[in-house]
Amino acid sequence: MLNKMVGRKIMLSYSLFFLILILFLASPVAATFKQWTDVEIKHPIRVNGAVDNSILANITVRNPNNEVIVPFLAMTYNSETKEHNYTVSSGDIELTGTYEYTITATGSGLNKTETFTFEVTPSGETGLLGFYFLAIILSYGLMGFDIYKQDVTITLLGSFALFFLGLYVMFNGLDSYKNYLIDGFSVITLGVAFYVSARAAHETITA
């Protein structure tokens, strides 16, 4: 009977821990790009509904500070995808926020300029604050449940969830936010996880 109860506790802890892990790994990907990564811009340009590889396209890109980071440079035509491409270097994607780019297409009787935007966030995702708050509540809720039950095994597993949460937030921020406040939260979370796991390990050794 005792072994069954211990087994159920361990299974519950693992289930909650992996639920938090799945929430992070299976988060929906928004139509944004991650900070400090290359941004590949692809556009099909058609004349009267047909692709024309003789069309020349130039692109200008401005960062959230309205500074030009790509000054009217030629895009490359990809014959396989039938699109004009341009890759913005990761070194120019240093700011988070809204980037604006303008494409000017000429040729085959076409002379047109259109403006588009894309978002850059620390994690490459946006509009997911509710998801992140759910993950935080689950992580700290699991830790609170562990402390309430005063079970060393469950407490250690709960601290692993907090370690994962703290590291994830430290490197990826919360949604489109990454600042000193967010960094402070991640450090505090890691500190709590370290303290709880160290205390649980000490109690296990001295028991």
Question: Is the domain of 54 the same as that of 6?
Answer: no
pLDDT at 68: 97
Q: Which of 121, 149, 174 is the last residue of a domain?
A: 121
Identify whether residues 105 and 130 lie together within a single domain.
no
State whether 39 and 105 are in the same domain: yes
Angle at 37 between CA 100 and CA 117, to 5 degrees: 15
**Are residue 110 and residue 36 in the same domain, yes or no?**
yes
Which segments of the chain have a pLDDT < 50?
1-2, 4, 6, 22-30
* Residues 180, 100 within the same domain: no
- Domain count for the chain: 2
Say if residue 164 is in the same domain as residue 200: yes
Reported as a single tens digit per residue, the pLDDT across 103-145 is 999 987 778 899 999 989 887 776 666 677 777 777 777 777 7
In terms of DSSP bridges, do strands 110-121 and 32-34 run parallel, antiparallel, or are they unpaired?
A: parallel
Could you tell me if 108 and 156 lie in one domain?
no
Final residue in a domain of this structure, among 121, 145, 165: 121
CATH number at residue 75: 2.60.40.10
Please give the residue range of the domain that contains residue 80.
Answer: 32-121
Cα-to-chain-centroid distance, residue 111: 38
Tell me if residue 79 falls in helix, strand or coil.
coil
* Domain match, 82 and 141 both: no
* Residue 88: strand, helix, or coil: strand
Question: What's the confidence (pLDDT) of residue 18?
Answer: 53
Last residue of a domain, one of 121, 145, 160: 121
Note whether 186 and 166 are within 8 A (CB). yes
